Structure 1
C-alpha cells in the first residue's frame, strides 16, 4: 500500500514545498551566467570627496571623469578606467563625511533576488576608546557590478543607511 494513499493533503503539501524550492532557486542568483561574481570591489578610499552618504552609478567610461572633480578626492581613477563597461558597471558607495579617521566600507556579498541586486557592505568604524586622527574623511568603496539581471540596486550593511537606485 502506498503510504500517501488516502492522504491527498500530504501529497499536495510535498508538491508545494518542492515547487517553492525550485522557484526560489530560479529567482535568487549569486553569480553571472558566466560564473563571475555579481559584484567585486575594485578599490576603496578614506577620501572620496562625497560629503553625503549615497551611491554614484556609472554605466559608461565617459562618466568616470565626473569623479575627477570631487573635492578632496583621493581615488585612483586609472583602476576605474580599466573596466570593460560592456561587461560591468561601477558603483561608488559612500558613507558620507565622518569626523575622524578609522571609518571604511568594503564589499561583503551580493545576490540578485527578485530582480534586485542586493549588495551587502561591511562598515568599519573606530571603537569609542580608540585614538584616531582628528580629520574629516569621506570613506567609500568602488564596486564593479554586473549590468544584467536586475532592475533595482539595494546596498545595505550594519552601520549604514540602506541605499537604493532604480535602473
Structure 2
C-alpha cells in the first residue's frame, strides 16, 4: 500500500505539470514601462491616451516626449509590434508640480474585449504648496496584444480616466 502523503505529492506534481504546460500558450499580460516623465512637451489641456501600433509612430512619439529633455536623450525602446503595442498616457499640461502618472499594476485585465490598465494618477491636494512650473506628465507602456478592442485606464481608486479603441 502506498503512503497517502506520497500519493498526494505525486498528484500535486502532476497537477503542477498540467498547469505549467497548459499556460505556455497563454499570451503574456505583463506591462512594461518604456518611459515616464513629469514633462513630456504636451500643450493639450486635457488628459489623453494614444495607441502606438508601429515603429515609425513610436520613433516620432519618443522624439516628441524626450526632445526637450536636458542631457542625453534616452534610447528608443525596442518593441516587437507583432506581439505588443504601445500605450501613451498624457495628463495634459498642468500649471504646477505635484502631478504624476505611474503604473500601479504591472498586468492588464481583459474582460469582454476591454483591457484595463491601472495607474496611480497623482494630483496635488487643494491648497498644497507646489512648484510653480508648467508640467505635462506622461507614461509610455508596452502592452501585449490580445483579445481586446479597447483599453480603459483606471486610477488607484477605480475611477475611469481614459478609454481608447485599439487598432490592429
What TM-score, normalized to structure 2? 0.67
- Cα distance change on mapping 1:77 and 1:144 into 2, 3 Å: farther
Matches within 5 A, 1:63-78: 63-67=57-61, 68-69=63-64, 73-74=68-69, 78=74
Write the deviation string for residues 72-94 of structure 1: whole angstroms up to 9, x where unpaired.
74499755432222222111101
| Length, aligned pairs only | 137
Hey, what's the Cα distance between the residues in 2 that align with 1:32 and 1:125?
40
Residue aligning to 2:118: 120
Q: Secondary structure at the match of 1:149?
A: coil
Q: Name 2:162's counterpart in structure 1.
A: 162
Higher strand residue share: 1
Please state whether the residue corresponding to 1:47 is helix, strand or coil.
Answer: coil
Alignment of 1:34-73 (within 5 A): 34=26, 36-52=28-44, 53-67=47-61, 68-69=63-64, 73=68
Match of 2:8 in 1: none
| Aligned-residue RMSD, C-alpha | 3.0
Mapped to 2, the partners of 1:41 and 1:61 lie a distance apart of 17
Q: CA deviation at 1:45?
A: 0.7
Q: Secondary structure at the match of 2:147?
A: coil
SS of residue in 1 equivalent to 2:86 = strand
Aligned ranges 1:73-112 → 2 under 5 Å? 73-74=68-69, 78-109=74-105, 110-112=108-110
- Structure 1 distance, partners of 2:121, 2:77, is 26
Q: TM-score, normalised by structure 1?
A: 0.67
Cα distance between partner residues in 2 of 1:129 and 1:32: 51
Equivalent-residue separation in structure 2 for 1:82 and 1:166 (angstroms): 20
**Displacement, 1:162?**
2.8
The verdict on how the C-alpha distance between 1:80 and 1:166 changes in structure 2, with shifts beyond 3 A counting, is same
Partners of 2:138 and 2:89 lie apart in 1 by 5
How many angstroms apart in 1 are the aligned matches of 2:73 and 2:25? Answer: 28
Which residue number in structure 2 is paired with residue 13 of structure 1?
none
For structure 1, list consecutive stretches of 5 or more residues without a partner in the other structure. Answer: 1-30
Q: Structure 2: 5+ residue runs without aligned partners? A: 1-22
